[in-house]
Each structure stands twice: as C-alpha cells, then as structure tokens.
Amino acid sequence: MRLPVVVIAGRPNVGKSTLFNRLTGRRVALVADTPGVTRDRKEAQAQMRGRMVQLIDTAGLEEAAPETLAGRMRESSAAAVHLADLVLFVVDARAGVTPADEHFAQWLRRQGRPVMLVANKAEGRSASSSVLDAWSLGLGEPMAVSAEHGEGISDLMSEIVAALPPELVEDDDDDAEPGSPERPLKLAIVGRPNAGKSTLLNRLLGQERQLTGPEPGLTRDAIAVIITDSDGYKIELVDTAGLRKRARIEAELEKMSVNAAIQALKMAEVVVLTLDAVEGVNDQDLQIARLVEREGRACVIVLNKWDAVPDRNEARKAATERLEESLAQMKGIPMVTLSALTGAGIDRLLPAVRAAHAVWNTRIPTGELNRWFERALARHPPPMVSGRRLKLRYVTQAKARPPTFITFGTRAEKIPDDYQRYLVNSLRESFDLPGTPIRLELRGTKNPYAET
C-alpha cells in the first residue's frame, strides 16, 4: 500500500516544522525561533482520521541562485512538491500576506498539484483580518490554525483527509521479497561536520535527497529514510548533524542538532562512523567511536573521500593502527574505504553493515561457552586477590544486541580489569565477534536475588 504524500511548504519561519510536529503527534522536526532551521526534507508517517499519510516537512521557499545554500534548499523543497498528493501552503497570519507568499503561491499554482492554504499563528483576534487577506492568494479558503497551541488542527486533519485521493496500491508488494525482515535494520550515519555523511546517504539512495556542499554543518536534524538493499532487506537510514567537540557547541540550535544526532545514535542498531580519509582519524572521531561503544551499538568505519587520498596504503595503515590502539573494546571493527562523491567502493558498505549486525545479534549456546571458559581458565588461571585465588565456575550469555555474558564464581566481582579484558578478547577471538561491543558482568556465587 502506497501512502498518500502530504507536503508542507511555505517561506521560512511561518511555523512549518511546528505544524509538522503537531500533525505527527510527536516532536520529530527541530523547532527554534530562527528562520531557516529546516534545511533537509523531513518525513514521518501520521494518522489522520484513520488514514495513514506520509508527511514531508520542507525547507523554507526562498528565491535564490541554484548554486547557493538557499537555492539548493529551494530545489529540495521543489522536488518534494512534485511528489505530493497534497501541498499544505503555510502562511503567517500574524505577519499577513507578504510579496514572498504571493510569489510562491503563483509558483505552486503552476506545479499542477492540489494545494490547501493554511494560515498559521492565527491565535487571538489580531490575526483574523490577516486570515481574510489570505484569500487574495487565489488558493481557496484559508484554514486558520495555531500549530503551537493546537487550535484548528482537528479541522485541518479532516480537510486533509477529504482532499486526498482514494487509497493507492503499488504494483510491488512490500512483503514479496523472500527473507526480508518485517522490521527494517536501523542504521545511523554519524561523524564530524563535513565528513561527507549526507553525500553518502544520497549515494546509497541514488538521488540528491540531502543538501550537500562545501559549507560544514548543513545537516541540522536527524533525517530518516528507508531503502531496500540488493538482497531485499529493508534498512532505515538516518543522516545526522555533525558532532563537534562539546566545548565548541555554543549556539542553542546547534545544541539541539547534536542532541538529535546522539538520540538517533542511541536508537540505531548499526552506526556508520564516517571519517574524512584525507584528514585521517582525529581525537573527535575517537570520541564519537567511544560513544558508539558506550551505547552498545554495532559499528562500521567508513573512510570517505578515498579518491582524494594520495597514499592509500599509508592512510589505511595509519587509520587501522590508531583505531586498534584507542578502541580496545571494539577490536576488529570493520572498515570500508569508499568515495561517496564518485560511488567507488559504495557496494561494499551495506554488506559490511549486515555482517556487523549479524555479529551484534550473535547468541552462543551455553555448552559451547562453558567449554571455551574451561580452556580459557586453564590457559590463564584467575589471579590472586588479597592472597586468595578467585574461583570462577561458569559463564552464560544473558542477551545479544550487543553480546552480554555473565560470569559466576566465588568473589567474581573482584576480577581485575586486565583479566576481564583477557576474557573479552578470548571471547571475541574464539567466537568470531569482531568490532562489536562485548559486555561482561561479574557475579558472586551467592544468589543475587536472595533476600538480604
């Protein structure tokens, strides 16, 4: 079933993202009292009067040269309008109809898409005359709403559903591909600003979905889209804002962007950490990788801009050594070299993501685990602590995602860090668990659930 597409359009700062959040019923898009917060299209499903729709929030419509940031934002918004079954053209009822509103109302009429006029910020009596002025745009009766306060939203939903075409059915069944999981793998693309994250997402999509350019920090919100890989598996891709050092995050809007990126990372199953291969691995890249490990996510390292690297052997060696030296808890982390700009090497990325996801989901039978445990203890017995040798009895896997193991024994909680690292590294090597975080919990033989 193909969902009808409803696109929210209008000039900057008329409240499009606030309306988007109100219609979806949750805070999906970043909202701030600053023009131009939204730069990329934001999509989410919303239910209105029992009808599911695909809602798209767009950047503000501005007249600008195509090569400028504002021009590229407008092209992205125009592309969304061309996909629409219905366009919600939003104006600011408090500000009244502006020349920019008139210009883009004319432009919308030429696009041949159904348009509904929405006069936002219409709370209070002062906005009433401006709502009436909106008739002059020639787009029919304006729907007066206040997205911030929720006024008029119920009536707007009813009008949207009434204006939509009958339910549309695609030729291809979403479940036709054998072996495809019902739920898509959640993949977040993270990294420093200007590492090429949005270019990478566009290359995976095969279209210019995200704004790209030489300006760092173009992406502000976490943008999710779903693709199907060559094997028929669905993947939900999330492009995120660049993560800077905390001391350099000053503006409130940038703090919101970084928080959205971190939240996307926490919700992901696999994280693609995108590095600038020309610059190499720096301290901020390692900080992000440690955050991935701390959250227990599977990870794939992408060395992007590989086409611009002068000495590839040296670059690969330097990156591998830096990662192995600084990320002991993610030993064997998979690394893919590619150029998101040219597409070279891009075909290796999603298979690496699938492989990392499979490792992250690994479950090991208890029998195999304890046979490994006996060999590991025989090879390197537990150390003496306070003059007494620790006695470890058995191990079991508590869960996967990431692989988490519990070791039981007399005073097991006293095991030193270096012996814990020995056990984790032995687990990783014996059961082929490269790159994924491994959790090891220690419990004394006394029943932890017994009353004390």
- In tens, the pLDDT along 178-214 reads 334 457 898 988 888 888 888 898 888 876 544 444 4
Q: Is residue 24 part of a domain?
A: yes
CA nearest to 327, candidates 407, 406, 428 = 428
Answer yes or no: do 126 and 30 share one domain: yes
Distances in whole angstroms, Cα of residue 134 to Cα of each of 94, 121, 138: 11, 13, 8
Burial bucket for residue 208 (CB in 10 Å: 0-12, 13-18, 19+): middle
Instruction: Output the pLDDT for position 198.
Output: 82
Instruction: Output the pLDDT for position 360.
Output: 95
Say whether pLDDT at 351 is over 90: yes
Say whether pLDDT at 248 is over 60: no
ω into residue 35 within 30 of 0, thus cis?
no
Residue 138's SS3 state is coil
- Chosen domain end from 334, 359, 384: 359
- Asked if residue 160 lies in contact with residue 88, where contact means CB atoms within 8 angstroms, the answer is yes
Say whether pLDDT at 39 is over 50: no
Say whether pLDDT at 218 is over 60: no
Say whether pLDDT at 45 is over 80: yes
Instruction: Output the pLDDT for position 261.
Output: 64
Answer yes or no: do 211 and 89 share one domain: no
What whole-number distance in Å separates Cα of residue 173 and Cα of residue 275? 37
Q: Is residue 168 part of a domain?
A: no
More confident residue, 50 or 271: 271
Answer yes or no: do 345 and 377 share one domain: no
Answer yes or no: do 85 and 211 share one domain: no
The DSSP output letter for 28 is -
Of 57-66, 72-81, 170-179, the least confident: 170-179
- Chosen domain end from 313, 344, 359: 359
Binned at pLDDT 50, 70 and 90, residue 315 comes out as very high
Orientation angle between helical segments 69-83 and 99-111, nearest 10 degrees: 40
- Chosen domain end from 359, 382, 416: 359
Tokens 């409130």 correspond to what residue?
Answer: 252
Instruction: Output the pLDDT for position 207.
Output: 65
Binned at pLDDT 50, 70 and 90, residue 48 comes out as confident
pTM equals: 0.60
Q: Is residue 349 part of a domain?
A: yes
Binned at pLDDT 50, 70 and 90, residue 58 comes out as confident
Chain-wide mean pLDDT for the chain? 80
Read off the pLDDT of each residue in 313-339 and give the average, rounded to a whole number.
91
Q: Is residue 288 part of a domain?
A: yes
More confident residue, 222 or 124: 124
Say whether pLDDT at 31 is over 70: no
What whole-number distance in Å separates Cα of residue 89 and Cα of residue 141? 12
The C-alpha torsion from 227 through 292 and 254 to 322, rounded to 10°, is -110
Task: Tell me the CATH number at 426.
Answer: 3.30.300.20
CA nearest to 57, candidates 220, 202, 177 = 220
Residue 159 neighbours by CB under 8 Å, 6+ apart: 116, 143
Angle at 293 between CA 291 and CA 297, to 5 degrees: 105
Answer yes or no: do 288 and 244 share one domain: yes
Answer yes or no: do 38 and 57 share one domain: yes
More confident residue, 171 or 78: 78
Q: C-alpha 7: how far from its chain's center?
A: 21
Answer yes or no: do 293 and 319 share one domain: yes
Instruction: Output the pLDDT for position 51.
Output: 84
More confident residue, 339 or 48: 339
More confident residue, 251 or 350: 350
Binned at pLDDT 50, 70 and 90, residue 132 comes out as confident
Burial bucket for residue 356 (CB in 10 Å: 0-12, 13-18, 19+): buried
Residue 105's SS3 state is helix
Structure tokens at 159: 């009008």
Answer yes or no: do 150 and 258 share one domain: no
Q: Is residue 287 part of a domain?
A: yes
Tokens 């959040």 correspond to what residue?
Answer: 21
Q: Is residue 432 part of a domain?
A: yes
Answer yes or no: do 322 and 353 share one domain: yes
More confident residue, 216 or 111: 111
Residue 54's SS3 state is strand
More confident residue, 36 or 331: 331
Q: C-alpha 301: how far from its chain's center?
A: 16
Say whether pLDDT at 369 is over 50: yes
- Asked if residue 245 lies in contact with residue 193, where contact means CB atoms within 8 angstroms, the answer is no
- Give me the percent of the chain exceeding a pLDDT of 90: 31
Q: Is residue 179 part of a domain?
A: no
Task: Tell me the CATH number at 206.
Answer: 3.40.50.300
Range of the domain at 371: 366-444
Answer yes or no: do 140 and 280 share one domain: no
Answer yes or no: do 155 and 273 share one domain: no
Read off the pLDDT of each residue in 139-149 and give the average, rounded to a whole number.
88
Number of structural domains found in the chain: 3
Binned at pLDDT 50, 70 and 90, residue 220 comes out as very low
Say whether pLDDT at 79 is over 80: no
* Sheet arrangement for strand 439-444: 391-399, 404-410, 439-444
Residue 38 identity? T
Say whether pLDDT at 28 is over 70: no
Say whether pLDDT at 348 is over 90: yes
Answer yes or no: do 250 and 338 share one domain: yes
Q: Is residue 118 part of a domain?
A: yes
Binned at pLDDT 50, 70 and 90, residue 223 comes out as low
